[in-house]
Amino acid sequence: MKRLLFPFLLFISIALFSQSPKEKGLKTINKESAEAYVGFLASDALQGREAGRHGGQVAGEYIKSLLQDLGIKPLNKDSYFQYFEAYSKERQKRVRYSVHPDSISKYKQLAAHRKLELRNVLGYIEGKNKDEFVIIGAHYDHLGMDEALFEDKIYNGADDNASGVSAVLQIAKAFLASGEKPERSVIFAFWDGEELGLLGSEYFMLNCSFASSIKGYLNFDMIGRNNNEYNPKHVVYFYTESHPAFGDCPKCETGSAIKWFKI
């Protein structure tokens, strides 16, 4: 029995060590994890994850716990959360919430105004060039509930955007599993208040001391399905030419099922 066991273990060890870091990472991305992440975030218990409401807060705690379990460090040393407030005029004025300091100062002076307490969830992996950053992000809030709806009152938000959150979590896991440091530090950002006007990402950039060191951003939004249900491998990307490499991407993918849109 021992004679049989040793060659088997040796074979397994050789197979594992022969995998490239990229292969090790990609093998951790799987359907089961995606279903678990999306299943919880889009469950009725979270009541549609509306920003500033109980369901949204539970979603934030869930994402934080997953980052902790994976071993992803918080971007801010003391917390995974970046707390912020959004203000608006009273509801009947139909004015969007704002996180800009000038708008907040103006709204606070009004006798009647609205305030939301929100929080981004931010983790990171330090790279070889630790002072250069790439951000991989997705918003985790959704539309909440509509009590006037008949029967099902919850906007569960499986595609928008539990699917994007799932992608970012699996990418974070893959980076760790690769066993290698990325070339640049990678921030995994989960934005709050995006359905109310991109509030979380705006607040982050307004208060980011290293904005000039951010070399790229990948955003995952509504990736659970595409606009052609008969072609499930069809992927749509939206990009800007803020860096020359993005403009070259469509040329690199000729003959693929990837469609690119410049914005």
Is the pLDDT at 235 greater than 90? The verdict is no
Helix axis angle for 31-41 and 54-70, nearest 10°, is 150
For position 200, what pLDDT does the model report? 98
Helix, strand, or coil (residue 198)? coil
Dump pLDDT digits (tens) for 91-100: 888 899 999 9
75 with 135: CB under 8 angstroms?
Answer: no
Which contiguous run of DSSP H or E holds residue 250? helix 244-252
User: Mean per-residue pLDDT for 110-119?
Assistant: 95
- pLDDT tens per residue, range 13-55: 545 556 888 899 999 999 999 999 999 999 999 999 999 999 9
Overall pTM surpassing 0.85 (yes/no): yes
pLDDT at 59: 98
Listed ranges 19-33, 196-210, 213-227; the one with the highest mean pLDDT: 196-210
Cα–Cα distance, 163 to 138 (Å, whole number): 9
- Contact assessment for residue 193 and residue 140, using Cβ atoms and an 8 Å cutoff: no
Q: What mean pLDDT comes out for the span 213-220? A: 94
- The sign of the torsion formed by the CA atoms of 86, 88, 91, 95 equals negative
Q: Which fold has domain 22-225?
A: Aminopeptidase (3.40.630)
Residue 122 half-sphere exposure toward CB, CA atoms < 13 A: 21
pLDDT recorded at residue 14: 47
> What mean pLDDT do residues 179-197 have?
97
Q: Does 263 have pLDDT greater than 70?
A: no
Q: Is the pLDDT of residue 72 over 50?
A: yes
For residue 178, the SS3 value is helix
Radius of gyration of the chain (CA): 21
pLDDT at 246: 62
3-class SS at 115?
Answer: strand
Domain ranges of the chain: 22-225
Residue 109 has pLDDT above 50, yes or no: yes
